Amino acid sequence: MSITRQNGHLQVENHSVESLAEQFGTPLYVYSRQSIETAFRAYDAAFPDRDHLVCYAVKANGSLAILQLLARLGSGFDIVSVGELERVLQAGGDPQRVVFSGVGKRVDEMERALDVGILAFNVESEAELERLDAVACARGVQAPVSLRVNPDVDARTHPYISTGLRDNKFGIDIHRAEAVYARAASLPGIRITGLDFHIGSQLTELEPLADALSRSLALVDRLDERGIPIEHLDIGGGLGIRYQDEHPPTPAELGESLAPLIGDRNLRLLMEPGRALVGEAGLLVTRVEYLKPGHRDFAIVDAAMTDLLRPALYDAWQRIEPVASPDTEPRVYDVVGPVCETADVLGRERALALQPDSLLAIYGAGAYGFVMASQYNARPRPAEVLVDGDQAHLIRERETIAELWRGEHLLDRP
């Protein structure tokens, strides 16, 4: 375990969270290098008998140092914008290990991805396929393409992070996909390399994933019979982490469940975990500013929905604990931030023993934490620290007030 308690005090690897808050201030994101590396290696070991590539989903946490760490481990990357591509390149990632997902790829994004030589475009619509063909032909190259099929499988997760139903905006209807592959095979700027599906995030059971895989493999077999061979199969990401009382499957269980379905097909396997690699590696550390008793007791802290959006956006539950074991009796608090929105709640009805200036740690903050932060209410975004054993690296400086208006211009005439 990389996040532990010693004598009642919260530790990340060999650093006390109190010392990190004292050194770097709050709100503060803290990540464990050991936790990230352990999670990646578990995924990488899940399919030992098959050529495979773990493509970290950059949208979960795009901090350069974390991308650098994963690149050094041999990770590939799943991106959804040219900005994420540039972050991967800046961090030393190999473009030939990058897959480009997303429903709205612009021409300039396609051009840049072609120029650097990515592994594959996960094409999500027929219109995108036609545009990509035109862009590739104009540059005198072929675009490596994996069609993202929508298998119409219920991932049984939060509706905002479910992506594999026909009502969702993602992918090509699996019943239409065979015809779209035939069209792709006829286009001069397209080189078919794979098939991709992604049914959603924070999966806590394997049955929906196995169902989607079976439907996709049936399509792979039909395509092979039509003379359209598939080189790689991308099963997406989506394994959950434990926020409250979930018991998500492990990567090893994922491999044990899916490998027999793939059988002896000659397919390279790609997967796109994000949250499962970094989610439990991170804490958001925040300080209590005020305790406000009343009809409801509020603990007003210095972190807000601008720092951690998930509770406001999804009504997500994340564990909150005092950094140091307190001496006072617990009371039931709503933990809220200073933003002028009623939705600025980080945790409702939490039994906590608190006093002003107490430090709190919000768990499971390594994924969809800082990456979704904003400057609403003119709030600078927090710092990020990566703990590596005895060392604590400041990997992102706290934003300054002056940086809030960087790039803005006052009018030069009355």
Give yes or no for residue 135 having a pLDDT over 50: yes
On whether both 91 and 108 belong to a single domain, the answer is yes
State how beta strands 76-79 and 52-57 pair.
parallel
CA 116-237-275 angle, to 5 degrees, is: 95
Active site annotation includes 340: yes
351 located within any domain:
yes
250 located within any domain:
yes
410 located within any domain:
no
On whether both 331 and 200 belong to a single domain, the answer is no
Please report the pLDDT score of residue 57 as a whole number: 97
Domain that holds residue 325: 3-30+279-405
State how beta strands 282-292 and 359-362 pair.
antiparallel
On whether both 300 and 237 belong to a single domain, the answer is no
- Residue that is last in its domain, among 276, 298, 316: 276
Instruction: Give the tens place of pLDDT for each residue, 215-264.
Output: 999 999 999 999 999 999 999 987 899 998 888 999 999 999 999 999 99
Instruction: Give the tens place of pLDDT for each residue, 363-393.
Output: 999 999 999 999 999 999 999 999 999 999 9
17-22 contacts: CB < 8 A, separation 24 or more? 17/283, 17/285, 17/323, 17/359, 17/361, 18/323, 18/324, 18/359, 20/285, 20/385, 20/387, 20/392, 21/285, 21/287, 21/323, 21/359
Catalytic residue among 167, 188, 340, 401: 340
On whether both 22 and 37 belong to a single domain, the answer is no
113-116 contacts: CB < 8 A, separation 24 or more? 113/82, 113/85, 114/139, 114/141, 114/143, 115/139, 116/85, 116/89
Beta-carbon-side half-sphere exposure of residue 132 (alpha carbons within 13 Å): 32
- Residue that is last in its domain, among 221, 245, 276: 276
- Residue that is last in its domain, among 215, 244, 276: 276
Give yes or no for residue 359 having a pLDDT over 70: yes
Please report the pLDDT score of residue 188 as a whole number: 98
Please report the pLDDT score of residue 167 as a whole number: 56
On whether both 62 and 136 belong to a single domain, the answer is yes
On whether both 122 and 82 belong to a single domain, the answer is yes
| Tally of domains in the chain | 2
On whether both 122 and 228 belong to a single domain, the answer is yes
Assign residue 356 the CATH number of its domain.
Answer: 2.40.37.10
User: Would the pTM count as exceeding 0.85?
Assistant: yes
On whether both 130 and 271 belong to a single domain, the answer is yes
Assign residue 48 the CATH number of its domain.
Answer: 3.20.20.10
